[in-house]
Amino acid sequence: MKDTQPRTIYLKDYRAPEYLVDRTELTFDLDPYATLVKSRLSVRRNPDANGTDTLPALWLDGVDLELLSIAIDGELLPAHRYTEKPGGLLLNVDKSAFVLEVQTRIAPEANTSLEGLYLSNGMYCTQCEAEGFRKITFYPDRPDVMSVFTTTIVAPANYPVLLSNGNKIDSGTTADGRLTVTWEDPFAKPSYLFALVAGDLQFVEDRFVTCSGREVTLQLYTEPKNIGKCEHAMTSLKHSMKWDEEVYGREYDLDIFMIVAVDHFNMGAMENKGLNIFNSACVLASPETATDAAFQRIEAIVAHEYFHNWSGNRVTCRDWFQLSLKEGFTVFRDAEFSADMNSRAVKRIEDVTVLRTAQFAEDAGPMAHPVRPDSYMEISNFYTLTVYEKGAEVVRMIHTILGADGFRRGSDLYFERHDGQAVTCEDFIVAMEDANGADLQQFRRWYSQAGTPVLDVEDTYDMETQEYRLTIRQHTPDSPGQVDKLPLHIPVSIALLGRSGSALPLDSSGEVERVLHVTETCQEFVFGNIPERPLPSLLRGFSAPVKLRYGYSVEQLLFLMRHDSDPFNQWDAGQRLAFDALSSLQQAYRNGTELELPESLIDGLSAVLENTRLDPALVAKMLALPSAQELTEQGGEIDAPAIIAARNFVRDGVAKTLKPQFRARYEALNVQKPYCPTASDIAERSLKNTCLSYLCATGDQEMLALAEAQLARDDNMTDSAAALAALVEFGPADKAQAHLDAFYRQWQQDTQVVETWFGLQSSSPTFGTLDRVRALMQHSAFEFKNPNKVRAVIGGFAMRNFAQFHAPDGSGYAFLAEQVIALDKLNPQIAARIVTPLTRWRKYRAEQSTQIQAALKTVRDSGELSRDLYEVVSKSLA
Ligand code: ARG
Ligand code: ZN
């Protein structure tokens, strides 16, 4: 472990920057081991800094840089005028405005952290958010310093494509035959939005005419072999541009918008001004190579990054504690876009599933933090589900409270008032309040309190008075550093269902759905003129990110599955039924009693399966049992073997009992037609493949043959991957291996398919044993320096293969510890993320808990850790 502990940074210590940088002129002379970076900064004293008369020193962030020279107003600075410190440089300053010139040398080829300037398959690219720019040159690398950037790139002739932010203003050839291009971005921006790309790339081009009639050139750059996989992203981009004009009144502002696909990338994508950089897996697709899920993910991420142009770039964050200002808002925006483009209900179900499976766990774990954290050691560790997904839920609640029109008035005011500024979450809330005369005082607590609130709901009905009363109690559990939390303002959308299944009018206007504003610890809501005892449909559409408890009986849940007019709650009723059944079975497994199939659940699923009026995508979602990972969120000690036993028992029972129905629907949906990633076709494929998976779970030869036939047909990756996954999970291992080998031979040239192929094996609860995972790491296509490969193989095993990772001998935990230690030397961000499963040791039953904790201690004691990993490991063991 480190001798010197990394420093903790606190929100309360925020100070405005002492100096501003009006202009930033950069020149890059590219070379793998010795790239020369020259910067010329127009610096001036910030008039808004907490001023003293004497000029304070200027702090410039800088990491892994070789300093060659510093000059002020053309004069080289003698060594006594500056001090090199860990993490940067302190300059003595004797003028309130000056031109600072700095030359540094960096080695992109040696940069395996994938922050700053690095090489990916021979292509130069950058990732500067959050604090990567300091790995390029000395700079006040903080988002509240906004500057107009001009960038000149000089490169050998085998790098014909040279890109940066903004518009290309010059290009040519140097005397020695190298290429040079200059870009200028007229919009002032923080350094985290800087980008540079250089490579031998091809591009596809399209155009978009904005609402005011300006023509924008759209370009998507890739390695030549991927040029056929750009169409879907381009279409998604045009849809996003149109949607943002229609729904938010936001028009694009430069003449050109570029996207570049790179294979080595820590995250999904990055919204650099005018030059988005994407993980190849989040942008490249073709029907033969990409699944429906990939098509939808690409559409969502292209939209997300595009939407950042307003929510993030034009209006940016003052400091990194405000990250959710741009991320929560932008995730909300992209979720609504996806809902408009596809099935709204299914999108909501998918998002809530992620929230309940992973964000709730984060909120209950050692790294729990509010949507606006108040401290961090390493900001990269706070690009979390809490900041992104819970942050989006918080924005969604504002939308629910103010209504669509009120929310739009608020966002209009926010963009108008803060255009060109670096602002805070508070500014966002104030704009929402001011535009609507609303009071969000109590609502603000969602930004500062961590933890998932629990709502306990009880009801009574009085036949005499025809009054129905709902009593709602709220409680938010303690989390590290936060106890005794205050009540939140929680919008709870409800309806009351009558015996016939339709919703009863709640007042004389005939309104049948209402948002209850829960603001107190315990609160009662009274409804009059309710002619019969109703069944409440609560938290419709998941109107708040909470755990809601109400003592529904099995019959009531079956009734909601059948009749609730809110498709989200229809699905959720089925999930509750499954959760209850699976908990009882876990208990039975522990007691050693014989497991019995829950009849009611089978009945409910059977009715769903036969309901041809329901959207097939919703049927598929309703047929899916909660994942093992989701079952760990039930509360109480996690007993991995019991979860696995109970879930497998139910899955196999459902498969056997409903086999004829699964077969019938599979056959009906298994029609030959050309692949199209439309919502209705995607819906049909999802149900078809859900049926196929259950059919194969029976282990019947004849059913496995259906999967083999589907795999052989080979006309789209959704069907192929689903068939292969079913064969790998449920078929005999030797046959599975043969199918895997054949699949690899067919697709070995395609990076994205190979990633799918890796992930499918390492995450298979039957096939993905630790030995096979170790073998995959020896495969020629595996690359330890490529995050996608690491996520597919190691992440697939540790995060998506509950059964094998939790092998009773603890081998999975030891393996993960070993990989984390190795990864930390190359790429701290990835190491700090992939260690997550080990941080949850406290939640497991005694023996597993001890094993997991021991693995985590191995990591802690392995030597000097990166700041990223140190923060996660030390907080998890504290
Ligand atoms: N702003 C990017 C996005 O949400 C993510 C960048 C994350 N970078 C990082 N180093 N954690 O689209
Ligand atoms: Zn984002």
| C-alpha to C-alpha distance for 270 and 194, rounded to whole angstroms | 10
Measure 335 CA to ligand 1 centroid, in angstroms: 17
868 in contact with ligand 1, CB cutoff 6 A? no
Beta strands in 422-500 (DSSP E): 422-423, 454-462, 467-475, 490-497
Contacts of 411 (CB under 8 A, 6+ apart): 248, 431, 432
Q: Which neighbouring-strand residues pair with 258?
A: 219, 275
387 in contact with ligand 1, CB cutoff 6 A? no
Tokens 């060659």 — which residue? 68
Q: Alpha-carbon torsion 62, 68, 73, 76, what sign? A: positive
Measure 276 CA to ligand 1 centroid, in angstroms: 11
Bond before 573 cis per omega within 30 degrees: no
pLDDT band, very low/low/confident/very high, at 4 (cuts 50, 70, 90):
low
pLDDT of the residue at 53: 72
Of 324, 383, 827, 829, the one to substitute when testing ligand 1's pocket (max ligand atoms within 8 A of C-beta) is 383
269 in contact with ligand 1, CB cutoff 6 A? yes
Q: Half-sphere exposure of residue 851, counting CA atoms within 13 Å on the CB side? A: 19
Query: pLDDT tens digits, residue range 410-419?
Result: 999 999 999 9
Q: Which of 256-260, 585-589, 634-638, 854-858 has the lowest mean pLDDT?
A: 634-638
Q: Is residue 265 left, alpha or beta, with left meaning phi > 0 and alpha meaning psi from -120 to 50?
A: beta
Query: Closest-lying ligand to the alpha carbon of 279?
Result: 1
Query: pLDDT tens digits, residue range 437-453?
Result: 999 999 999 999 999 99
pLDDT of 1 above 50: no
Query: pLDDT tens digits, residue range 530-582?
Result: 999 999 999 999 999 999 999 999 999 999 999 999 999 999 999 999 999 99
Tokens 């409440």 — which residue? 536
Atom of ligand 1 nearest to the CA of 132: 10
Q: For the beta carbon of residue 207, count every other beta carbon within 10 angstroms.
A: 11
300 in contact with ligand 1, CB cutoff 6 A? no
Query: pLDDT tens digits, residue range 282-305?
Result: 999 999 999 999 999 999 999 999
pLDDT of 236 above 50: yes
pLDDT band, very low/low/confident/very high, at 5 (cuts 50, 70, 90):
confident
Query: What ipTM does the predicted assembly reach?
Result: 0.98
Average the pLDDT over 98-108 and give the result: 98
pLDDT of the residue at 54: 87
Average the pLDDT over 117-135 and give the result: 98
271 in contact with ligand 1, CB cutoff 6 A? yes
Q: Is 779 exposed, middle or buried (0-12, 13-18, 19+ CB in 10 A)?
A: middle
- Entry field: residues in the chain: 878
Query: Closest-lying ligand to the alpha carbon of 868?
Result: 1
Task: Report the nearest-CA residue for atom 5 of ligand 1.
Answer: 270
Measure 188 CA to ligand 1 centroid, in angstroms: 20
Residue 342's nearest CA partner among 405, 300, 390 is 300
Measure 734 CA to ligand 1 centroid, in angstroms: 41
Atom of ligand 1 nearest to the CA of 269: 12
Q: For the beta carbon of residue 594, count every other beta carbon within 10 angstroms.
A: 7
Q: For the beta carbon of residue 864, count every other beta carbon within 10 angstroms.
A: 11
Coil, helix or strand at residue 25: strand
309 in contact with ligand 1, CB cutoff 6 A? no
763 in contact with ligand 1, CB cutoff 6 A? no
Residue 877's nearest CA partner among 837, 832, 840, 844 is 840
User: To the nearest whole number, what is the mean pLDDT of the chain?
Assistant: 97
Residue 499's nearest CA partner among 549, 455, 563, 440 is 563
Measure 392 CA to ligand 2 centroid, in angstroms: 11
Task: Give CA 826 to chain center in angstroms.
Answer: 23
Q: Is 500 exposed, middle or buried (0-12, 13-18, 19+ CB in 10 A)?
A: exposed
Q: What is the pTM of this model?
A: 0.98
pLDDT of 664 above 90: yes
Instruction: Please give the share of the chain, as a percent, with pLDDT higher than 90.
Output: 98
**Token code pair at residue 254:** 């430069």
Coil, helix or strand at residue 582: helix
Tokens 């009120």 — which residue? 406
Of 126, 129, 387, the one to substitute when testing ligand 1's pocket (max ligand atoms within 8 A of C-beta) is 129
Instruction: Please give the share of the chain, as a percent, with pLDDT higher than 70.
Output: 99
Helix-, strand-, coil-residue percentages of the chain, each rounded to 5: 45, 20, 35
Catalytic residues: 305
109, 825 contact by CB (below 8 A): no
| C-alpha to C-alpha distance for 291 and 675, rounded to whole angstroms | 11
Q: What are phi and psi of 536, to 5 degrees?
A: -80, 135
Residue 77's nearest CA partner among 54, 53, 60 is 60
Coil, helix or strand at residue 387: helix
Residue 498's nearest CA partner among 540, 560, 572 is 560
Query: Closest-lying ligand to the alpha carbon of 392?
Result: 2
Q: What are phi and psi of 499, to 5 degrees?
A: -55, -35
Q: From residue 486, how far is each of 47, 391, 394, 449 by CA, in Å?
A: 39, 19, 16, 8
Cα 408–409–411 angle (5° rounding)? Answer: 60
Task: Report the nearest-CA residue for atom 1 of ligand 1.
Answer: 270
Average the pLDDT over 794-821 and give the result: 98
Torsion of CA 329, 126, 378, 783, to 10 degrees: 110
pLDDT of the residue at 50: 76
Measure 434 CA to ligand 1 centroid, in angstroms: 30
305 in contact with ligand 1, CB cutoff 6 A? yes
DSSP per-residue codes, 350-374: HHHHHIIIIIHHHHTSTT---SS-S
Residue 237's nearest CA partner among 163, 293, 282, 299 is 299
Of 115, 267, 326, 387, the one to substitute when testing ligand 1's pocket (max ligand atoms within 8 A of C-beta) is 267
Query: Closest-lying ligand to the alpha carbon of 132?
Result: 1
Measure 383 CA to ligand 1 centroid, in angstroms: 7
State which amino acid sits at residue 366: P
270 in contact with ligand 1, CB cutoff 6 A? yes
| C-alpha to C-alpha distance for 753 and 765, rounded to whole angstroms | 20
pLDDT of the residue at 714: 86
DSSP per-residue codes, 138-153: -B--STT--EEEEEEE
Q: Where are the alpha helices (DSSP H) in 698-806?
A: 701-713, 717-730, 733-747, 751-762, 770-778, 787-790, 796-800, 802-805
327 in contact with ligand 1, CB cutoff 6 A? yes
Query: pLDDT tens digits, residue range 758-775?
Result: 999 999 999 999 999 999
